[in-house]
Amino acid sequence: MGIDDDDDDDDDDNDEPTKRTHDAQWMEMYQKLVAYNKQYRSIKVPQQYTEDRQLGQWVNTQRVVYKKNKLSDKRTELLESIGFVWDPWDKQWMEMYNRLVAYKKQYKHTNVPRRFPADPQLGSWVFYNQQRRNKLTEKRIELLNSIKLSWSRNDSDDNDDNDDNDDNDDDDDDDNNNDNSNNNDNNNNDDDDDITSSSITSFTLATESTDAGNIGST
């Protein structure tokens, strides 16, 4: 028993320097992240960050360890104190969701056209989530249901296309009307030419008749 206890103590003593080394390395990388945040006002370090590739990889590793519930509370608190985002995609999703909430507040519905001029990205985002309903988390489905999102694709795009087609048809009608008007003008011009020709012919015949009469009387 005593020997085993001594062996355990020796193992703890051997692990302690290693633990201190790991802690020191972690804090060194953490300070690099703090400096990055101070310089760029962001903790979104790309994995292939050219100035310090190790930093980008370290940031990604922290997210992986956190998801596995293996990141200590102390380290979690340190990272969150500088605004560390555990799931960047979740943050972006919530930003788009809030834009949809604002849209509904203004327009009283969530049927955002895919080509919504004021915010084209929002329409595409809504369509994307409608198509991926079976792959969304329960939390996201609940959030979208809470604002009465219709999961079936709305007909707003088709209506937009129909409106465009109607406009084109109207333009075609206008063009046809213009063509008809031009044809009428041409017909009128032809009639005028016929009238003019007839008048000239009548005038010529009358003149010839008068001249013949004058010759006879002479």
Q: Where are the domains of the chain?
A: 22-82, 88-147
Mean pLDDT, the chain, whole residue set: 76
pLDDT at 137 over 70: yes
pLDDT at 184 over 60: no
- Tell me what the mean pLDDT of segment 4-13 comes to: 51
Sorted by sequence, the CB contacts under 8 Å of residue 98 that are 6+ apart come out as none
d(CA 73, CA 67): 13
3-state secondary structure of 73: helix
pLDDT at 35 over 60: yes
- Nearest CA to 51 out of 66, 62, 65, 40 is that of 40
Regarding predicted confidence, which is higher, 105 or 43? 105
* pTM, 2 dp: 0.48
pLDDT of residue 89: 85
Sorted by sequence, the CB contacts under 8 Å of residue 152 that are 6+ apart come out as 130
Phi, psi dihedrals of residue 191, rounded to the nearest 5°: -60, -40
Contact criterion met (CB below 8 Å) for 148 and 110:
yes
Query: Rounded to the nearest 5 degrees, what angle is found at the Cα of 47, between the Cα atoms of 44 and 51?
Result: 85
